[in-house]
Every structure is written in structure tokens, then in C-alpha cells.
Structure 1
């Protein structure tokens, strides 16, 4: 199994065999992406003051669909991303967008950003469990670190692919601990605020991995078929590269 391009992966639980690989990772292709009418605002939206003693980037909420939303929950512009933590196109979008999204748009109170981790490759399961391990307000920073160090993690995945595949035969409470260790993930996150013991405890809780798989199944059932898939104010956009997405956000009122 090639852990970088694997298309199907059975995560067996006591309840069901949930299949990952419901979506593909791909760059912008306006000829095939489904989208609605572009979101357009005739006038720019005004800045919204944050709660006392906070900035909007410190306001984080776990959403019912398994996402993490950052920013003003009543922002006039809402950006939603279904992204795979092992998708190079998602990584490129994050690398290009995070500075402006978090340094300008979200801090203004005019934009909220929700990220839903869509597990489409085997390594997405321990990656998602680990970015969710710890306080919710650090979630997006951990996602950003995965994407900022994407090449390094990809090389570790290639080196540890065989051992990671063997880990899938272990008992449930050992399976993703061993996979994460084989891929260098526990040490990676230990350098970013999730201690080795804390990471292992999260990975040993098989209900967390099961929920990641259930979320992936639910996203696929909604028709999400590629990552990144993005919505602006509940309208899907085919603008999945930052320059065109930024233009769409500005048209929606962030200019």
C-alpha cells in the first residue's frame, strides 16, 4: 500500500467497516467543480469588534459536523473548507492563504473560517486525531503546522509506510499509536504542544479514530468528492487556489 496515494482504506470498528478514500485530492478545475452562484456583496462589510479581552482568532467552536470554526460566529462571510491533511493541494492553499485569512480577514470580524478534516488517506486518521488532541483553540494552529511542514511529513510517511501498514493489524488501542510512531507524528506534535504521552492517549482511544472515519463517511454522503472543497456562505465555489479564492472573498464583501 502506498500511503501517499492510497484510495481506499478499511477502518474496521466493532460497529461497521467504514471505508476511507471517498474523495480525491485535486487542484482547481472549474470545468468539473460543482458550484452555485457566486456570493456577491454590493458594499464592503464593516469590521466587527471582538469580545472584550480577545481577538477573533481566539474564538474557536467545535461544530456539529465535526469541524472547527474560528472567528466571529455571526460574521457576514463564512468560509468552510473540507480538507485532507495529506492533500498537497490543500497544503498549498493553506500555505498561500493563512497569513491573510488569519492576519486580516478573521481578525476583522467579517469572516469566520471552518475547517473539516476529511480523512481520505490512511495517515489522515492519526493526523486528524492528533490535531484534535488538546484544546480546541489550538486546533487551527496545529493544522497550519501540518501544512507548513507538508514535505517533511510526506518524506516521513514514505519512510514509515511499511511499518504503518503493519500497525493496522494490531489491537484497536495500539493500532494508531503504532502508525503515528512509524510516521514520526508523535514526535512532530510533541514539538508543537502535544506531548508524546498526551498524543498516545488520544491515539489509543479508538472512538476518536472511529469518529474521524464516520465524519469522512458523512462528508462523502453529502457529495463532497474532492479536497479541498470550499463553500462561501453555504454556496460551493470552484475557486480552490488562493488568488481566485481571495478574489471571490473580496467580491463577497471583504474588500
Structure 2
């Protein structure tokens, strides 16, 4: 992963080799069931959302004994598959029990992914999870629009001034209009996309995660700080249950 915006790749082809497969099978364990923890009156734990020191955004009980982290890319098809299968039951059955917190750390793979990640964070922590889920659902359309760009247009965008680079790319991909329909105004979206410091931080956090946890593909999961062997919901849910979230 690149540490500088000036070093972003200019090829229009996505680096799909960095998107993991989903052929894993679950294993079983015998940990005792952890007791559920009640959320504050009138609230759900899934409504408790905050940033983390590692650059991620976490939902759930801050003191949850089971902490699940996903390194994910919005341009990864297997991340989309996991989101389709897992986000609702993970939220409703595990996070809201108070036993599990769920953190997403964006692992940016390419300029398309970076543009979408910036916009998913543009409204702050509160709408991050639903915006991320919906952005994953926009993946196919985003790819179609990217493939509709000629190489000269794409290269010209990436070689433009950093403060307009991702604005121009997001316009070509239809991302500004997509997020505008979901509560992020056009001016707000453009301001977020022009924030080179935020973009550099996302790329730096990706680099740090790759080095610290030897992450080579997405999705990659950590359970209480340890990598999980598996990329699908069946495997991850089995590990949650092994840890006592059942």
C-alpha cells in the first residue's frame, strides 16, 4: 500500500488479488457462554458508535468481552458477501447482546475504494455502518462506471491536484450523487474528498494494519486481537460462539 497520494496506482484495473475467498469451514469450541449485558435504558448497543485509536469505527458495548474487527475494502466482492450475510445478524444477535463489539477498519486497495471509504466516513461515526453497507451494495454500479472511463480520463484524474483528485473521481463514479441521496450533501461530500489529511490517514492506517497483522487480503478478521482463519460469516460466527457469544 502507498503512503503518499502522489504514489497512488494509475492503472484502471482493480487489484482483485487482494480480495480474499470464502471457502472456509467452521470449527467448534467449548467456551462457557458469556452473560448478556443490558444497554443503557432506552438504547441499543448497536447505537453506541465511536472512533478507535487504530482508525476504525466500532459499534457496541465499549466493555464487550468479545471484540471483533474486520479489515475491509468497499471494492472487495467478498467483503460485500460478508456484509450481505453478516451485518444484520451480527448487529441484532451479538452486538445488541452486549457481548460483542464490532469494528470496521477500512483497508484501502485502490483509488475507487479510497473515494468510497472517505464518503462513508463523511457524516461522522453515527451513519458509518449503514453507509458502508449501502456502499458495498453500490459496488457493481461503481465498477461499471469505472470500466466506462477511458484510461486517459482515469490517469488524468489521478494526476490532478490532490484537493480535486477524489472529487473528480467520485463524480465519475456517481458516488457523490449516491451519498447525497443518503444524507451527505454535495458540498459536504466534496469537502471530505478534498481533505488530503484524511485520505493520507486512511492510507497510513492501511499500511499500519498490513504490517502489524500481516494482512494480505480482505476481509481479514481479528477476534480479541488475534487473526481469525476465515473470511465468511459461517466461520466468523463459529468463532464468536467458541468465544462465548451464544
TM-score (norm 1): 0.85
2:228 paired with 1:234? no
Q: Is the 8 A contact 1:19 1:213 kept in 2?
A: no
User: RMSD of the TM alignment (CA)?
Assistant: 2.4
2:5 paired with 1:12? yes
Residue in 2 aligned with 1:166? 156
2:86 paired with 1:97? yes
Mean CA deviation greater in 160-169 or 103-112: 160-169
Matches within 5 A, 1:188-199: 188-199=178-189
SS of aligned partner of 1:113? strand
Matches within 5 A, 1:51-66: 51-66=40-55
Q: Distance in 2 between matches of 1:220 and 1:239?
A: 17
Deviations 1:186-210 (A, max 9, x none): 0111111111111001111211111
Deviations 1:187-235 (A, max 9, x none): 1111111111110011112111111111122122221111111011112
Residue in 2 aligned with 1:202? 192
Q: Distance in 1 between matches of 2:55 and 2:9?
A: 18
Task: Point out where structure 2 has 5 or more consecutive residues left out of the alignment.
Answer: none
Higher strand share: 1
Task: Point out where structure 1 has 5 or more consecutive residues left out of the alignment.
Answer: 1-7, 32-37
Equivalent residues, number: 238
Q: Distance in 2 between matches of 1:148 and 1:28?
A: 18
Q: What displacement does 1:28 show?
A: 3.6
Q: What displacement does 1:133 show?
A: 0.4
Q: Is the 8 A contact 1:39 1:235 kept in 2?
A: no
TM-score (norm 2): 0.88
**Which one of the candidate residues 12, 19, 28 is aligned to 1:25?**
19
Q: Evaluate the alpha carbon distance shift between residue 239 and residue 30 of structure 1 in structure 2; reply closer, same or farther with a 3 A threshold.
A: same
Residue in 1 aligned with 2:170? 180
Q: Is the 8 A contact 2:44 2:96 kept in 1?
A: yes
